[in-house]
Amino acid sequence: MPESRVARPRRYLVCEPRFFAVRYAINPWMRPDRPVDVSLARRQWLSLVDAYRRHGHTVETVEPLPGLPDMVFAANAAVVVDGRVFGSRFHAPERRPESVPYAAWFKAHGFDVQHPESVCEGEGDLVPAGRWILAGTGFRTAPEAHREAQEFFGVPVIGLTLVDPYFYHLDTALFVLDEENVAYCPEAFSPGSREVLERLYPDAVLATREDAMAFGLNSVSDGRHVFISPEATALADRLADRGYVPVPVGLSEFHKAGGGIKCCTQEIRS
């Protein structure tokens, strides 16, 4: 029989896709010549917000700004641990202005914000995982930012190297299930990083590259419910076998920009 899982209420920060578009290409998913249906994107985004609230989570919003089409991807703006905010310094010049409104939101809500000196893309590459922070590098966030985050939070930071450009952020290749376990795609990581993950998480839920390409690993878990792309059916079945409850939420329009459920979701850990 699968284990009984326990959900924990979460606090999420999101940003309405009012100005969402694909105007430039900074990852293999993005094609500016491919139109985005903004109305559909907004309906899909609202379905995600509704799913979070129906499962007992608090959802807060930051106001989107014109000219920042990727601002909807709130996870990239910062990482928050124990009420401390480590902000972002984006790799792509097109996204760098996003740091300002997110930092302003956190400050307005009583948080102090540490601005990284090195390239760092928030929860895209810094993934709090219980006793430590898993930290991706290889395409966006610099290894120097890993050291900055460790000094700021006083939490061990474990660097992992990504090797597949389709999984340019750690949160496209791995997500945290609960305080003790993760799901990830081994093929997305360098051999050494794969060994690290095997040692840290011998009972991890392993996903295929097909699962990952369906944005199945760009998921959000509250410890029991896993908000997941409906196309990642094989991964959803594996999670259900382990006692988790998949909650499918389709964000197909956001896939055109290389984002999914987790990309649209910043967790505020107070």
Q: Which two tokens stand for residue 62?
A: 């930051």
Which of 15, 120, 185, 263 is labelled catalytic?
263
Q: Which residues contact 209 (CB under 8 A, 6 or more apart)?
A: 164, 185, 187, 188
Q: Which two tokens stand for residue 162?
A: 């990504």
Angle at 146 between CA 143 and CA 147, to 5 degrees: 100
State how far the Cα of 87 lies from the Cα of 13, in Å rounded to an integer: 14
Alpha-helical regions (H) of the chain: 38-54, 99-108, 143-153, 191-200, 209-213, 233-241, 252-255
C-alpha distances (whole Å) from 258 to each of 73, 142, 215, 255 are 10, 20, 9, 5
Report phi then psi at 40, rounded to 5: -65, -40
The whole-angstrom distance between residue 183's C-alpha and the CA centroid of its chain comes to: 13
Q: Which SS3 state, helix, strand or coil, does residue 148 take?
A: helix
Q: Which two tokens stand for residue 27?
A: 């990852």
Is 169 assigned a catalytic role?
yes
Is 264 assigned a catalytic role?
no
Which of 57, 146, 169, 255 is labelled catalytic?
169
The whole-angstrom distance between residue 100's C-alpha and the CA centroid of its chain comes to: 19
Tell me the catalytic residues.
169, 263
